Amino acid sequence: MSLIEAQGVSKRFGDREALRSVSLHAAEGEILAIIGPNGAGKTTLLSIIAGIQSPDDGELTRPPGEVGWVPQQAALYGKLTVAENLRLFARLEQRPDVEAAVEEMLHQTGLEDRAGDQVSTLSGGNRQRVNIAIGLLAQPDVLLLDEPSAALDPRQRERLWEFLQARAEQGTAILFSTHNVAEAERNADRVLVLADGELLFEGPADELALGADFESAFVEFLRERGH
């Protein structure tokens, strides 16, 4: 059952076409990676699905429940502590047991010992962990992550994907954008290749690679299409 269904979604910024009739779907428990070069339209596509921006054209169907959103740059209040940030958003998300939700997220992010620290004092990686935790607070049916592992070290990245895989197994559809094609190949059920706002490929990573090295195949694929 598709939780997200996009048909012919287009978006313009002035003269620039950020998205050109992009269609996609994501089912329960599915992990989709959106890959492409810089300026391909990955963030625009995710922000439209998240409801932050409206498409100029096309149709989008989203689940009636919550869509979790994890922006590329940490959307946190630097002057608040980790726990205070989590508590604020848990309240805004109307979680029935706010303190339990905060404890759960602190545990999942491994930041229990930094709960009382102001976010402005955290490293980029730890901020991103809090950022992701806030996106998960609503226990959403669909989770959108914009380059979630960009600021994480390998160990943190591993922990993140363990966590996301567990979420997907519980039925959450996960869409994430990334530059890291290896990460997409390793973690995604399907990949969507975007370039200049155009959807060039949608399918399992091995279909694109056809037995070759995925990253090389991806670069070659773009080159063949003039990107």
Partner 1 sequence: MRWLLIKDLQILKRSPLLVALLVIYPIVIAVLIGLALSRGPDKPRVAFVNEVPAAANVIQLGGESIDTSKYGKELFDAIDPVRVDSEAEAIKKVKSGDVLGALVLPQDLTHKLASGIEPAHVKVYYNAEDPVKARFVQNTINSQVQKANAAVRKKLTKIAVGYLKLVVSGGKFSFFGRNFDVLGLAKAEAILRATLAEIPKDSPANAQVATVQQFAKIAHDNLGLSNDVLKTVGEPIVVDQHVLKGGKTPLDAFAVAVAVTVSLMFVTLLLAAGTLALEREENAFSRLVRGLVSRTGLLVEKGLLASGASFVVTLAMLSGLALFIDLAWDRFPLWVVALVAGALGFAAMGLAIGALTREVRAASLLAFMLALPIAFLALIPSGSVSQTLYDVTSAISAVFPFKPTLDALNAALNDAGGMGKALIHLALLVAGYGVLARVGLRRFA
Cα distance between residue 30 and residue 189, in whole Å: 6
Whose Cβ is closer to partner 1: residue 66's or residue 220's?
Answer: 66
Touching partner 1, residues 166-205 (CB under 8 A): none
| Distance in Å, CB of 46 to partner 1, minimum | 11
Task: Tell the smallest beta-carbon distance from residue 176 to partner 1 (Å).
Answer: 16
Residue 92 or 166 with smaller CB distance to partner 1:
92
Q: What is the largest CA-CA distance in the chain?
A: 53
Toward partner 1, which CB reaches closer, 133 or 222? Answer: 133
Q: For residues 24 and 7, give the distance between their C-alpha atoms in angstroms, rounded to a whole number.
A: 7
Question: CB of residue 26 vs partner 1: minimum separation in angstroms?
Answer: 18
Q: In terms of DSSP bridges, do strands 190-195 and 31-35 run parallel, antiparallel, or are they unpaired?
A: parallel
DSSP letter, residue 227 = -
Is the CB of 120 or the CB of 170 nearer to partner 1? Answer: 120
92 touches partner 1 by CB under 8 A: yes
- Residues 129-148: x/- map of binding to partner 1 (CB under 8 A)? -----x--------------
Task: Find the DSSP H helices in 32-151.
Answer: 42-50, 82-92, 98-109, 124-136
How is the chain split among helix, strand and coil, in percent rounded to 5?
A: 40, 30, 35
Among the listed residues 31, 89, 105, 173, the single contact to partner 1 using CB under 8 A:
89
CB nearer to partner 1: give 93 or 198.
93
98-109 and 124-136 are packed helices; what angle lies between their axes, rounded to 10 degrees? 140
Given a contact cutoff of 8 angstroms between Cβ atoms, the answer to whether 139 and 170 are in contact is no
DSSP letters spanning 9-26: EEEEETTEEEEEEEEEEE
Site string for partner 1, 46-75 (x = CB under 8 A): -x--xxxx------------xx-x-x-xxx
Residues that bind partner 1 (rule: CB under 8 A) add up to a total of 19
**C-beta of 76 vs 151, nearer to partner 1:** 76
Binding-site ranges for partner 1 (CB under 8 A): 47, 50-53, 66-67, 69, 71, 73-78, 89, 92-93, 134
